[in-house]
Structure 1
C-alpha cells in the first residue's frame, strides 16, 4: 500500500508539547484570565491579546504574581505547577506586590526576607490563629497585642490558616476589633474615674484622711519597706509583663489571661521590688488582675453554656417527632 504524495505530515513526538494552564493579569489589576499555552512565547502573545497590551510597548515581560520572579526560560516555565499566576509587564513597567491578587505572600517583597524570619511574627500570629480555630471562645482570653496582630493580618492569609471563607474571616476580624475597642473604652473609663478621685483629693476630703493615716503608720510602713527590700526579687514574670504593668493604664486589660494568672499568683513583696512600687499599690494591681481573670473565665463559661443550650434546643424537634418515644409515654 503506497502513501499519497503531499499528504499531511505527522509531527515528531519531540515536537508535541502539552498545554499548561495559566492565569494572567496586569500589574495592580484585579481581573485575571485563564489561558493555556505550550511555551512562554505563546503565553506572551496571548497576554498581549487578552490584556490589550499595545505591542509598541514591547518587550512584554512575564513575572510570577507571588513574588515578582521573572520567567524567561521555557524549561522553568514547564516546571511550574498548573494555574500559576503571571503578571504581564509592558516596557519599563516594574512589578509591585498587590494584596488583592490572591498571591500567597502578604508582606512586601523588600521585607519578606527580614521581618518574618528575624522577628518570628509570622509564626506567632499563626499559633494564635490555630488557638482560635480550636476554640473561638479564646478570643476573650487573648492579650491586646494578640488581638491587634490578628486584625493586622491580611484577610486572605488568615482565611487560609483558619480554612474559612474571606467573608467569615472578615467578620471574625471585625469581632476582634470590637473586643479591642471594648477594652480601650474600659481603660478610658478607669482613667476618668481616677481623674475624678484625684479631684476629690485636691478638695481635701480624701487628702486629709491620708495625711492622718501616714502620721500614725509611718513606723509600720518603714518596717514593711524594709521587709520588701530583704525579700527575694526573683519573679517568674517576663519583662514584657512588667513593662505593661508599669507603662500602661489599666494594665489588666492589656494582658492575656495566662499573664493575668501569673501576676495574681506572684509574691506581692517580690513584685513590689521588681516594679519599684509600695506594697499597697502592688496588691491593688494584683487584685485587679485577679478580678479581670475571673471575669474573662466567667464569660468563657457563659459561652459554653449558651452553646450547650443551643445544642439541646436544636435536638428537641427530632425527639418530639420520634414515634417510639411517644409510645413509651404512659399517659
Structure 2
C-alpha cells in the first residue's frame, strides 16, 4: 500500500477536518492512502493519484466492501477512518475484489472461499446488525453470540456498525460484562445446588429420593420400550440446544431467548426421553428456562420504558420555550 500526502495547501485561515481514506481502481489490489475533507476533494485526488484520464470523468466513489455508491458528504463524514473506496471512471461498474473483505462476497455468485470462515463472518455480521437496529437486544443474545462479537476485531465491528473504534471498544466491554454476569449467575446457582445437596444428605432425604427415582426409572423404561421412538421423533429442538441442556450447569443462561422459548414449548415427556432424564428434572429445567425468558423480556420492557422517558425529557425544554403566562394584576 502506498501512502500519499495531502495535495494542495489550505487557504490562509481555512480549517479543514481531513478524513484518512484508502483509494484504489477497479480490478486492482494496489491501494493509496489519502486524506480529504469532502467527496469532491477525494474525487479530485483520485484522478491525480490513480492517473485517471480527465475524459473519463465523472468519477464515482463506491465502498470497496460492497459497492455502495457514496455521493453524500454527510454520509462520507460518518464513515470510519481508513474506509476503502474504489474509484469508478465514467460508466465503469464495480466488481468484487478478494482483498475487499466485508460483506461483498454475499452478492458474488461463485468464488472459492473457506466455508468455516465465511460462516463465522456471516454469523457475527448478522448479530451486529441486530445490535445496530436495537442495542437492548444484547439481553436476548446467547453466550455464543456474545463471545462472537467480543472476538471480532474492533476495527471490523466499527466498520460494520459505522461507529468509531472507541465506541466499539466500549460496546465490547459491555458485552464482556453481560457474559461475566451470566457466568457469575451460573456459579451462584451451582453453589446453591451443592448447598441443597448437603442439606439432603444431613436429613437422610437423599436415600428416599434415590428409591423413588429407581422406581420411576423402571416405570419409564417399561413405557419407553413401546413409545420412546414415537416421542423422540416429535422433538423439534436442534442438537446444539440438546447438548447445552445436557452439559451446561445452568443451560438457561447459555441459550438465546429464541432457544429458551423453544425449550419451554417442548413436550416434557418427549424432552425427557430425548435427554434421558426423569420428568421432574425435565420440568425443573423447563421452568428455569421459562423464568429466564420472562426476566429477559422484563429487562427489555424496562429498557424501552426508560428510553421513552428519556426521549420525553429531551423534548420537554423545546416545548416550554416562550411559555405564555397570565400577567398578574398589579392591584
The verdict on a shared fold, with TM-score over 0.5 as the criterion, is yes
Gaps of 5+ in 2: 8-28, 34-49, 53-59, 62-81, 85-99, 103-111, 327-331
How do 1:77-156 residues align onto structure 2 when only pairs under 5 Å count? 115=114, 119-156=118-155
Among residues 26, 30, 34, which one is paired with 2:5 in the alignment? 34
**Corresponding residue number in structure 1 for 2:198:** 199
CA contact 1:263–1:286 (8 Å) conserved in 2: yes
Alpha-carbon separation, structure 1, partners of 2:307 and 2:269: 42
Alpha-carbon separation, structure 1, partners of 2:220 and 2:273: 15
Q: CA deviation at 1:241?
A: 0.7
CA deviations on 1:188-218 (whole Å, 9 max, x unpaired) are 1111112222222332442144257558878
CA contact 2:2–2:31 (8 Å) conserved in 1: no
Report the TM-score, using the length of structure 2 for normalisation: 0.62
1:178 aligns with 2:149: no
Aligned-residue CA RMSD (Å)? 3.5
CA deviations on 1:254-273 (whole Å, 9 max, x unpaired) are 11000000000011111111
Note closer, same or farther for the CA distance 1:218–1:162 as it changes in structure 2 (3 Å cut).
closer
1:157 aligns with 2:156: yes
Note closer, same or farther for the CA distance 1:316–1:63 as it changes in structure 2 (3 Å cut).
closer
Q: CA deviation at 1:285?
A: 0.7
Alpha-carbon separation, structure 1, partners of 2:168 and 2:217: 58
CA deviations on 1:256-296 (whole Å, 9 max, x unpaired) are 00000000001111111111111111111111111100000
CA contact 2:244–2:251 (8 Å) conserved in 1: yes
**Corresponding residue number in structure 1 for 2:244:** 244
Note closer, same or farther for the CA distance 1:239–1:218 as it changes in structure 2 (3 Å cut).
closer
1:233 aligns with 2:232: yes
175-184 or 190-199, which deviates more: 190-199
Larger-Rg structure: 1
181-190 or 212-221, which deviates more: 212-221
**Corresponding residue number in structure 2 for 1:315:** 315
Note closer, same or farther for the CA distance 1:216–1:174 as it changes in structure 2 (3 Å cut).
closer
Report the TM-score, using the length of structure 1 for normalisation: 0.62
Alpha-carbon separation, structure 2, partners of 1:149 and 1:215: 42
Aligned length: 241
CA deviations on 1:34-66 (whole Å, 9 max, x unpaired) are 378xxxxxxxxxxxxxxxxxxxxxxxxx97699
CA deviations on 1:216-275 (whole Å, 9 max, x unpaired) are 878876777678637521211111111111111101111100000000001111111111
